[in-house]
A and B are shown apart, each in its own frame.
Chain A
Amino acid sequence: MSHHIFGLTKRINSIKFALLSPDEIRRMSAVKVITADTYDDDGFPIDKGLMDLHMGVIEPGLRCKTCGGKVDECPGHFGHIELAMPVIHVGFVKNIKNYLDATCRECGRIKLKDDEIEIYKQKIEEAKKMGASPLELMLITKKIIEDAASRPICPHCGAEQKKITLDKPTTFREEGRKLTPKEIRERLERIPDEDLPLLGINPETARPEWMVLTVLPVPPVNVRPTITLETGERSEDDLTHKLVDIIRINQRLRENRDSGAPQLIIEDLWELLQYHVTTYFDNQTSGIPPARHRSGRPLKTLVQRLKGKEGRFRSNLSGKRVNFSARTVISPEPFLSINEVGVPEAAARELTVPITVTEYNIEKMREIVRRGSNPKGDKYVPGANYVIRPDGRRIKITDRNAEDVAKKLDIGWVVERHLIDGDVVLFNRQPSLHRMSMMGHLVRVMPNRTFRFNLAVCPPYNADFDGDEMNLHVLQSEEARAEAKILMLVQEHILSPRFGGPIIGGIHDHITAMFLLTHKNPKFTKEQAIHMLSYLDYDELPEPHKDENGNEFYYGKELFSLILPKDLNMEFKSKICDPSVCNNKCVHEACPIDAYVVIRNGKLVAGTIDENAIGSMKGKLLDRIAKRGSDEARKFIDNMTRLAVGVISYRGFTSGIDDEDIPEEAIIQIHEIIKESIKKTDELIELYKQGLLQPAPGRSVEETLEMEIMRVLAHARDEAGKIASKHLGLENSSVIMARSGARASMLNLSQMAGSIGQQSVRGQRLHRGYQDRTLPHFKRGDLGALARGFVESSYKKGLSPTEYFFHSMGGREGLVDTAVRTSRSGYMQRRLINALEDLKVIEDRKVVDTAGNVVQFLYGEDGVDPTRSSGGENVDMDEILTDVLGEKYLLRRRK
């Protein structure tokens, strides 16, 4: 079927691969390299050496002897080495094996009868006519070779065939006898041109014997430049080193051969030459040791230059280094808006924005240029590093010429001025796993040396401040800046396409602070209120309340309501909601633990603001406000984070190990429970040993026992946790953090205060280690709780030596899992990107590839943009009805 092309002006029709023939190598060679030396004592390239000037120049001042060009003009030219004896090219070992297998050892014909040859040839022709892909053609070739290789007798000359084996990497044997490359080459030479198409070779472009090298091309010196260190010492490229080895051995081999040395010596040298040529192509060939530098470092030869993450493709072609970018450590700055990024002055002076001079800005630009590239003064003012004249010439601005250049500045020139507040930049943290890993920020030039941003933006970047570094890119065109501002600005990414909820939002202290501000509606004096609100842009305080003594005060919920949009109505359950408190029947505003949030006309009437309201990923309030528009959402998050910092820094908040203190009797109770459970497991084991344990349906007795024990011990840990929790109330900082969703969980706390519980590997109790036991401290075959990884102690009490060991076993699984997961998901991500990178959604919401082929008739089949959805759903009726009917609807919904 014909492929129609649109949206493309050019399309590669076909690519032809061919082999270099020895003649062609000689023809394209500018010099025959015969000596392994590089430079003479004066540092001048030696004639016919590896740095011969015919192969190009790398030193300024010299001229190429082939084209006459100077360093930047000469493209470099190949040379060649005449090999004394032929050697196998490692890249073609598999092909050579196939050709030897498929052809006759005597006459060289493919081992197929003439009529079979005809049939196969027709089949290939037909496939080509149908537009078969190279892969499909390769499959046909593979079948032909298999067929031909299976014939024990040549159908053409009747010669008996012998089995050829490949001794990796490059040694061929015929029934044990070694075949020399020379013999192999002779056999390949005998294959007639007419048989080649059947072997997948186009005789017009390649001959199989060219896969055995008799001449080796020497790459231009530009490809393997000499490095001169500061000490004046010269250091050759790895490729040059390898070529030196090849020439040396080649010379010795030739001398020995010509002087009629013993066959054994010649064979040894020949094999050594094969080794050097092999490692010259690929220094990671399996089966032979890699060639090493004097320092012991393996050499980087041709294949190593191309392959892998550091190779030419992934490191230089798919990805490149760029200008106008900066990288430094990040740190938090709660007084920045989520849209902003703090840029160190030093970076701002290095990163520039090109501004075209017009009649409207010429005076301003003159002023900036006049300041030079390093303006003095306490206050940061932008200078400029370069100006570009209309003829394209770049002029570097120095203190000496600044005044002069400023005077000459004219309309149409371009000034590369330093960053100023408000410039749009891209900010990125690796690994860039989703689109929110690179967002547009507005610059705020700041003192010190780190990039700074609002803490609410940590989740999309997955950033923390334990030494993380991030990259910043300054946009260089008006179009790019417009795109960044409209599409990439942080506030446009508050809602994540991953789950249709807010990914930018409160974390850690924001959540704790909002909890402290709103839970059970605490009172604050006017002074306290003013202090906390001073972090915000609020000029007016609401009407204060008065207590019996006439002192003015405010309620926390009131202060929080200040940052809510005035017409907001909603209600939802707080994170701290515990259905058992209200007997599984929610009582809404009357909730005894203040866990039902009610917002009426922008006033928080009831409930606690915690993770479920303002948390990143979970915040319902955030989600609701974000759907009202990105400006409003940005303002809310800015205000919320500032208010949070105001509240928590005024009140103060701390946590210590004594948060996990529980009374002596509670500890005793926990011990009781654990002792009881251990006894119960012992009973189960006894039952099992007597053969009285009833297996669960579909399980063996052993599996049943394990299941039962796991159940009993998990129950024990939960019970211990419950007792610990009973003594850990909401006056406790750690509990506030866990219950409000700020950080950690009640499980973490009960493991600190109560008991750590069963350790497991692959979901099973620990059982490996020594024969029939986990550690030599236990009897063989002991199935008891303590012998199989149950940790009775708490983190606070500390672990016994055996417990510590078990805990490390369980902990290791987690580490291994994450290591394996990240590498695997990284690979999957790369594959997905390569498959999907050029698909796009067009105007009518079809998904198409670059050729216009339809991938989906409607994006996602339902045409919904998850970012604009409600948790992935098309419409949220609740939200619409609340917006239209307000309280009336919310009250009716409760029933």
Chain B
Amino acid sequence: MVRFDVLEHELVPEHYLVPKEEEEKILKELGVKKENLPRIKKSDAVLRVLERKYGHIPVGSLIKIVRKSPTAGRITVYRVVVRD
């Protein structure tokens, strides 16, 4: 079955799942507690695509997003998966 991959769309930035073992390190670098991170809903279309690649993504996982920025060129941001 051909399914549409939203990540292929040029307006959708790159999304990656952060491996569990790297989470702590990244949060430490950012100096943020997980609950203060921006959120991404479990039902987000991107997560469904990511789950095809990584398997089940539980609530609380970190998603790394690399996107274009008008001021800084390319930037990396993080979101935490939440229930919807």
Is B31 interfacial (CB-CB < 8 Å)?
yes
Are B36 and A862 interface neighbours, CB within 8 A? no
Distance of A796 from chain B, by nearest CB (Å): 47
A862 touches B83 (CB 8 A): no
Q: With both chains docked as a complex, state the minimum distance between the C-beta of B43 and any C-beta of chain A, in angstroms.
A: 13
Residues on B with beta carbons closer than 8 Å to the beta carbon of A846: 31-32
Q: Does B38 contact A (CB under 8 A)?
A: yes
B77–A3 contact, CB under 8 A?
no
Residues of chain B within 8 A (CB-CB) of A857 are: 30, 75-78
Which of B36, B71, B72, B77 lies in contact with A853, CB distance below 8 A?
B36
- A862 with B35: CB separation less than 8 A: no
Q: Does B9 contact A (CB under 8 A)?
A: no
**Contact between A854 and B35 (Cβ–Cβ < 8 Å)?**
no
Q: Is the CB of B75 within 8 A of A858?
A: yes
Q: Judging by beta carbons under 8 Å apart, are B33 and A4 in contact?
A: yes
- CB-nearest residue of chain A to B32: A854
Contact with B along A851-895 (1 / 0, CB 8 A): 111110110111110000000000000000000000000000000
Q: For residue A855, which residues in chain B have a CB less than 8 angstroms away from its CB?
A: 38
Contact of A854 among B37, B71, B75, B76 (CB under 8 A): B37
Tell whether A848 pairs with B69 under 8 Å between CB atoms, given A857-B30, A861-B75.
Answer: no
Q: Is the CB of B31 within 8 A of A861?
A: no
Given A844-B31, A846-B31: A852 touches B71 (CB 8 Å cut-off): no
Q: Are A862 and B71 in contact (CB under 8 A)?
A: yes
In the assembled complex, B49 has its CB within 8 A of some CB on chain A = no
The CA of A852 and the CA of B33, in the complex, are separated in Å by: 9
Shortest Cβ distance from residue A695 to the other chain B in the assembled complex, whole angstroms: 35
A3 — which chain B residues lie within 8 A by C-beta? Answer: 35
Q: Which positions 1-33 of chain A face chain B at CB distance < 8 Å?
A: 1-4
CA distance A851 to B33 in the complex (A): 11
Q: Does B7 sit within 8 A of A, measured CB to CB?
A: no
Pick the contact of A851 from B31, B36, B77 — CB < 8 Å? B36
Cα distance A83–B76 when bound, in Å?
66
Closest B-chain residue to A848, C-beta based?
B36
CB atoms of A861 and B72 under 8 A apart: yes
Chain B residue at smallest Cβ distance from A844? B31
Whether a CB of chain B sits under 8 angstroms from the CB of A317 is no
Bound: A249/B32 CA distance, A: 64
A130 within 8 A of B: yes
A3 to B76, CA, bound (A): 24
B82 within 8 A of A: yes
Is A4 in contact with B83, judged by CB distance below 8 angstroms? Answer: no
Q: B19-54, CB under 8 A of A: which get 1 and which 0? A: 000000000001111011111000000000000000
Interface hub of B72, B78, B82 (most chain A Cβ within 10 A): B72
Do A861 and B71 form a contact, CB below 8 Å, given A1-B82, A130-B83? yes
Shortest distance in angstroms between B77's beta carbon and chain A's nearest beta carbon?
6
A8 to B: closest C-beta gap in Å: 13
A848 to B37, CA, bound (A): 10
A253 to B82, CA, bound (A): 60
What is the total number of residues of chain B having a CB less than 8 Å from a CB of chain A?
A: 18
Tell me which residues across on chain A come within 8 A of B78, comparing CB atoms: 857
Contacts A4-B33, A130-B83, A844-B31 known; A854 to B38 CB distance under 8 Å?
yes
**CA of A852 to CA of B32, assembled, Å:** 8
Assembly CA distance A858 to B35 (angstroms): 18
With a cutoff of 8 Å between Cβ atoms, the chain A residues found around residue B69 in the complex are: 861-862
**With a CB–CB cut-off of 8 A, which chain B residues contact A860?**
71-72
- Complex formed: what's the CA distance from A295 to B38 in Å? 57
Q: Are A854 and B36 in contact (CB under 8 A)?
A: yes
Chain B residue nearest to A869 (CB atoms) is B71
Give chain A residues whose Cβ lies under 8 Å from the Cβ of B72.
858, 860-863
A2 adjacent to B35 (CB under 8 Å): yes
A853 CA / B36 CA spacing, docked (Å): 4
Nearest CB on A from B1, distance (A): 32
Residue of A nearest to B82 (CB): A1
A844 partner residues in chain B, CB cutoff 8 A: 31
Q: Of residues B36, B78, B82, which shows the largest number of chain A Cβ atoms within 10 Å of its Cβ?
A: B36
Q: Provide the residues of chain B in CB contact with A130, threshold 8 Å.
A: 83
Task: List A829-862 residues whose CB lies under 8 Å from chain B.
Answer: 844, 846, 848, 851-855, 857-858, 860-862
- From the candidates A4, A858, A863, A864, name the one contacting B36 in the complex (CB within 8 A): A4
Q: Which residues of A contact B38 (CB under 8 A)?
A: 853-855
B71 x A864 contact (CB < 8 A) = yes
* Complex CA–CA separation, A857 to B38 (angstroms): 10
Distance of A791 from chain B, by nearest CB (Å): 42
CB of A139 to closest CB in B, whole Å: 14
Residues of A near B37 (CB, < 8 A) are: 853-854
Complex-state Cα separation, A855 to B39, whole angstroms: 11
Q: Which residues of B contact A861 (CB under 8 A)?
A: 69, 71-72, 75
A71 to B30, CA, bound (A): 58
Q: Does A852 lie within 8 Å of B36, measured CB to CB?
A: yes
Chain B residue nearest to A862 (CB atoms) is B72
A853 to B33, CA, bound (A): 9
Bound together, the chains give a CA A652 to CA B30 distance in angstroms of 63
Which residues of A are found within 8 Å of B83, using beta-carbon distances?
1, 130
> Which B residues touch A858, using CB under 8 A?
72, 75
Residues of A within 8 A of B71 (CB): 860-862, 864
Which chain B residue lies CB-closest to A866? B71
B60 CB, nearest partner CB in chain A, Å: 8
Among B31, B82, B83, the most chain A Cβ lie within 10 Å of the Cβ of: B31
Enumerate chain A residues within 8 angstroms of B31, measured Cβ to Cβ.
844, 846
Interchain CA distance A508-B82 in the complex, whole Å: 58
Interface string of B52-84 (1 = CB under 8 A from A): 000000000000000001011001111000110
B42 to chain A, nearest CB (A): 11
Closest approach, in angstroms, between the C-beta of B33 and any C-beta of chain A? 6
Shortest distance in angstroms between A835's beta carbon and chain B's nearest beta carbon?
A: 16
A855 to B71, CA, bound (A): 16
Question: From residue B63, how far is it (CB to closest CB) to chain A in Å?
Answer: 14
Cβ of A797 to closest chain B Cβ, rounded Å:
49
CA distance A498 to B26 in the complex (A): 34
State the Cβ distance, A533 to closest chain B Cβ, in Å.
Answer: 45
Q: How far is B37's CA from A3's CA once the two chains are assembled, in angstroms? A: 11
Distance in angstroms from B25 CB to nearest chain A CB is 16
Question: In the complex, which residues 559-601 of chain A have their Cβ closer than 8 Å to any Cβ of chain B?
Answer: none
Q: Are A1 and B36 in contact (CB under 8 A)?
A: no
Give bound CA distance, A232 to B31, whole Å. Answer: 68
Rounded to whole angstroms, the CA-CA distance of A277 and B31 in the bound complex is: 57
| Assembled-state Cα–Cα distance A862/B35 (Å) | 24
Query: Would you give the shortest CB distance from B71 to chain A, in whole angstroms?
Result: 4
- Chain B residues whose CB sits within 8 angstroms of the CB of A853 once the complex forms: 36-38
Q: Which of A1, A848, A863, A864 is the one whose CB lies under 8 Å from B35?
A: A1
Question: How many angstroms between the C-alpha atoms of A723 and B34 in the bound complex?
Answer: 70
Complex CA–CA separation, A444 to B44 (angstroms): 61
| B77, closest chain A residue (CB) | A857
Contacts of B30 in A (CB 8 A): 854, 857
Chain B residue nearest in CB terms to A856: B77
How near does chain B come to A875, taking the closest CB pair, in angstroms?
A: 14
Q: Which A residues are in CB contact (< 8 Å) with B35?
A: 1-4
CB neighbours of A862 from chain B (8 A): 69, 71-72
Separation of A858 and B77 alpha carbons in the complex (Å):
10
Of all chain A residues, the one with the shortest Cβ separation from B68 is A861
Q: From residue B36, how far is it (CB to closest CB) to chain A in Å?
A: 5
Would you give the shortest CB distance from B17 to chain A, in whole angstroms?
18
Tell me, in angstroms, the Cα distance from A3 to B72 when the chains sit together.
30
* Chain A residue with Cβ nearest B75: A861
Q: Which of the listed residues A844, A857, A863 has the most CB atoms from chain B within 10 Å of its own CB?
A: A857
Q: 22 A–B contact pairs at CB < 8 A?
A: A1-B83, A2-B35, A4-B33, A4-B36, A130-B83, A844-B31, A846-B31, A846-B32, A852-B33, A854-B32, A855-B38, A857-B75, A857-B77, A857-B78, A858-B72, A858-B75, A860-B71, A860-B72, A861-B71, A862-B69, A862-B71, A862-B72
Known A854-B32, A854-B38, A861-B72; 6 more pairs at CB < 8 Å: A130-B83, A857-B77, A860-B71, A861-B71, A861-B75, A863-B72
In the complex, the 6 A-B pairs of residues with the closest C-beta atoms, listed nearest first: A862-B72, A862-B71, A861-B69, A861-B72, A852-B36, A853-B36
